Amino acid sequence: MTVPARQGLEAVDILRRGAGDEAVGPVLHDGTCDTLGFLVPSGTAACWDLPGSACTQTFGGSGVVAQGPPVPPPVAGTGWLVPPGAAEAVTDPVVLRAALGEARRMIEAADNCR
């Protein structure tokens, strides 16, 4: 699931402040496109409809594991913002949707203070 970097960075902060099940899973940063990519459970793309984001079905898995030696990013030109092993296996899409909404509201409030 990809979002603009500014909103994604805010959402990562929100998720990291959460407790228990609200942990953030691995997150990729694509500096060229200025986006963040959250790893979410298989099947999420079928029902994802949050404006300003995209959720794409992948086939064959990413090869990402949560344990073991460092894993190279599964997408060329990206780097890990939150690497596997330092995070949950994936981010819960319900919790992610709430964090992205809160991030959007925070950005709008900050931009309107100018």
Is 48 in contact with 55 (CB distance < 8 Å)? Answer: yes
Residue 42 has pLDDT above 90, yes or no: no
- H helix intervals, the chain: 5-17, 93-112
Residue 92 has pLDDT above 80, yes or no: yes
Tens-place pLDDT, residues 6-25: 999 999 999 988 755 457 88
Average pLDDT over residues 75-96: 83
Is 5 in contact with 101 (CB distance < 8 Å)? Answer: no
Residue 69 has pLDDT above 80, yes or no: no
pLDDT of amino acid 65: 44
